[in-house]
Amino acid sequence: MNSALLEDFKVWMGNDPKLNEGMQHLDEFRSLMTCYQSVIREVRTKLDILNDEMALKEDRNPIQFITSRTKKPASIGAKLLKKEKEITVDNIRDTLNDVAGIRVICSYTDDIYWLAEMLTKQDDVYLIETKDYIKTPKGNGYRSLHLILEVPIFLSDRKEAYRIEVQIRTIAMDYWASLEHSLRYKKEFGDTELGSELENCAHELATLEDRMLAIREKINQ
């Protein structure tokens, strides 16, 4: 048994002294995480196909790059406890929407909405929730489009659907979010002058993005 996985599982079980009695859940948990990794592969494949199609039709790639992750067991357990839910495999599937996550980085803002539309109109993709922080940015200036999707994976003897969070943003949005996160990690800004300055930077980047999109459209006329 992988020692790192065992340590994660101990945390996931709350370091219960009766851990050995719950070890039968380990295989269920490992199977569940494999399924979440599989749904990530399914969605990444869909995005890659759309990117290839746009490259053929428009001679450009809307997607710059894609990253993905599954939540760590300790993070999963903490989120369930925060929701006052027992830590079980069933509660993970039924309660949490972001155990599997994909982040898609695009060139332009219109690429974001094109990708979201093309992805969610596919027959086997069910849209659960949309949070548009581009049209309505967060108070700190954060901008991104968040989709909660349910997508099936096909196993040897059955088909099962799993939820996944897909975040789609531009290079500029990702640049701002990454720096804001690292700076906020060092110092909690709150409503200070530094926080306001970061928000202003987000607005300036949004204006620059609009100008770059306008230039692209003029070139394509």
What pLDDT, in 10s, does the model give residues 17-27? 544 444 556 77
Q: Which domain holds residue 11?
A: 3-171
Q: Strand 126-132's sheet: what is its strand order?
A: 63-70, 100-106, 159-170, 145-154, 126-132
Q: Which of helix, strand or coil describes residue 57?
A: helix
Residue 211 in any domain: the answer is no
Residue 186 in any domain: the answer is no
Residue 31 in any domain: the answer is yes
CATH of residue 41's domain is: 3.30.460.10
* Count of domains forming the chain: 1
Q: What is the DSSP letter of 38?
A: H
How buried is residue 201: exposed, middle or buried, by Cβ count under 10 Å (0-12/13-18/19+)?
A: middle
CA atoms within 13 A on the CB side of 148: 10
Per-residue model confidence (pLDDT) at position 1: 46
Mean pLDDT of 207-218: 87
Per-residue model confidence (pLDDT) at position 21: 47
Which residue type does 21 have? Answer: E
| Angstrom distances, CA of residue 194 to CA of 177, 183, 201 | 15, 10, 11
* Sequence-distant (≥ 6) Cβ neighbours of residue 17 within 8 angstroms: none
Which is more confident, 209 or 104? 104
147 close to 116: Cβ distance less than 8 angstroms: yes
Confidence class of residue 78 from pLDDT cuts 50, 70 and 90?
confident
Residue 116 in any domain: the answer is yes
Residue 145 in any domain: the answer is yes
Backbone dihedral angles phi then psi of residue 159, each to the nearest 5 degrees: -115, 135
Per-residue model confidence (pLDDT) at position 22: 47
Per-residue model confidence (pLDDT) at position 80: 86
Residue 200 in any domain: the answer is no
Query: Could you give the angle at the alpha carbon of 119 between the alpha carbons of 37 and 51, nearest 5°?
Result: 85
Percent of the chain scoring above 70 in pLDDT: 84
Tokens of 133: 């922080």
Per-residue model confidence (pLDDT) at position 187: 60
Residue 221 in any domain: the answer is no
| Angstrom distances, CA of residue 215 to CA of 114, 144, 210, 218 | 19, 22, 9, 5
Backbone dihedral angles phi then psi of residue 104, each to the nearest 5 degrees: -110, 125
Q: Which of helix, strand or coil describes residue 69?
A: strand
Confidence class of residue 186 from pLDDT cuts 50, 70 and 90?
low
Tokens of 5: 């996985």
Per-residue model confidence (pLDDT) at position 8: 63
CB atoms within 10 A of CB 182: 9
Residue 218 in any domain: the answer is no
Which strand (E) or helix (H) includes residue 63?
strand 63-70
Confidence class of residue 3 from pLDDT cuts 50, 70 and 90?
low
